[in-house]
Structure 1
């Protein structure tokens, strides 16, 4: 519902609805303002207020013969009007009227200025919000790119690790095959050396005791070396087998 403000020449009052205005008994000359009006108007200029205006009676036509008392009162009014006209004016307006208009202009300019500041502040806030939203979108895109790069790096590292593990597995299997062959060869040489030691210990013709001892010592030295080689190869085979088992468990 539309609300109206009234002005008595000094200060404004309101807001009032139509029922309240009717109780105020406003006249056609009463200044009125409501939201949406650029400036104050008299109540008689506003169409929807005409039904609530107080109807003033027409001016009284005095009888031709004016009593002396009334005549004196008229003369006093004329004197007062002359005095009023002689009072100092500003830009052709009474001081009170000039001050009222000035006050309304200041009020109007202040309202316009405040609206301008509010609109400017709203525009700044909208720009700041838009900037923040753009920065958030850019940050999210950067984070997404970083995550994608991390995934690519992790995938490359995984593939590289698989490649290294595969090569290591092939190297271990190749070395295990070599160890197996070497163990078979050393075991064969060990058996031959043991047989040769038995023969050297039993054979006594055409040799001195010193020659026999030297031959036996040399064969025993070969046997000790072969046993160490066999033991070393066995340890290496066990270590490589354990490494293969760990690689297989990590893969699973």
Structure 2
């Protein structure tokens, strides 16, 4: 039994035995070739292959009368389905498809709105947190400024009190020195023993000059003290 090659007009395939050729359902016009053949032949020319040809029905004779559906029956059906049922099924199908499309767009719209609302809520929350942080920062700055102001006032108050204490000590010392200078002046005016008038006048002038310096310094200290008391009063208020 020979093995045959087949050709489909573009390329060849095979080899195939008789059983395999039956499975291929070849026609009598199918080009075949086997060892010993000089050229390709059609399967119908090979006696060995006559039994495996697929039986083909003859072409239909258009002149032969075929049974026809009545025009009335054909007009009442669409693709073999009664028109009323077809239209009902078509309406149901359109309704289902329309509902699915509507639900699809509604779900998309709802998801978009939900996403926008989520973004808006997140932005609002972030804005509120920023506002709260700004407010807390302002309060911290105000508190720091208040503490700094109180610290400066406290230091200034302490400085004023220290200066007042120094002035009081200087005043006490100057008053004492002034009293002594006045006593010395009185004695210098009365004491004339073993001194010339020039020496006496010179001593008196020195003492009077000392009294004047002490008096001026006492006056300046009093003025400064009054100013310090006035500033302290303003700080307390």
TM tier, shorter chain? 0.5 to 0.7
Structure 1 partner of 2:147: 159
Distance 2:125 2:74 in 1: 74
Alignment match of 1:206 (pick from 195, 201, 225)? 195
Partner of 2:172: 184
The equivalent of 2:122 in structure 1 is: 134
Residues 201 and 107 of structure 1: CA distance in aligned 2, closer, same or farther (over 3 Å): same
Please, what TM-score do these two structures have when normalized by structure 2? Answer: 0.55
1:228 aligned residue: 216
**Post-superposition shift, 1:246?**
2.3
Alignment of 1:1-252 (within 5 A): 82-84=70-72, 105-106=93-94, 108-204=96-192, 205-209=194-198, 211-249=199-237
Range moving further from structure 2, 232-241 or 179-188? 232-241
Q: Which moved more, 1:133-142 or 1:172-181?
A: 133-142
CA RMSD of aligned residues (A): 3.4
- Report SS of the residue matched to 2:70: helix
SS in 2 for 1:206: coil
Mean CA deviation greater in 130-139 or 92-101: 92-101
Provide the rounded CA distance (Å) in 2 between the counterparts of 1:241 and 1:158.
24
Query: What CA distance in whole angstroms lies between the structure 2 residues aligned with 1:185 and 1:194?
Result: 14
Report the number of matched residues. 168
Query: TM-score scaled by structure 1?
Result: 0.52
Unmatched tracts of structure 2, length 5 or more: 1-68
CA–CA separation in structure 1 for the residues paired with 2:86 and 2:205: 140
1:93 positional shift? 6.7
| Distance in 2 between residues matched to 1:113 and 1:86, nearest whole Å | 34
Structure 1, unpaired ranges of 5+: 1-80
- Give the deviation of 1:187 after TM superposition: 1.0
